Amino acid sequence: MPQFDLKLLIIPIVSSIIGMIYIGYGKKKNLYFAFTGIALIVMPYFAKGMTAKLVALAALVFLPFILSLLL
């Protein structure tokens, strides 16, 4: 039986909380944040392993800022 790893549980919770904040902000200001918020909520179900989840989380957190600067 695999051991319980708290880190693999905390990453999806943090990702979902940030995603909810981005959706709330995106509904009022910028749609880039809303779409990124949806991606942050869905991302933990598709990424395998802690490293992949952390890399995807970091990339998605900074994505709307980069898009708003470029576009």
Contact call for residues 53 and 22 (beta carbons, < 8 A): no
Indicate whether 70 belongs to any domain: no
Indicate whether 54 belongs to any domain: yes
Indicate whether 38 belongs to any domain: yes
- Which domain does 18 fall in, by range? 6-64
Indicate whether 69 belongs to any domain: no
Indicate whether 10 belongs to any domain: yes
Q: How far apart are CA 49 and CA 23, in angstroms?
A: 25
pLDDT in tens, 7-48: 778 989 999 999 999 999 999 988 889 999 999 999 988 988
The total number of structural domains in the chain stands at 1
Please state the pTM of the whole predicted model: 0.85
Indicate whether 23 belongs to any domain: yes
Q: How far apart are CA 25 and CA 39, in angstroms?
A: 14
Contact call for residues 57 and 63 (beta carbons, < 8 A): no
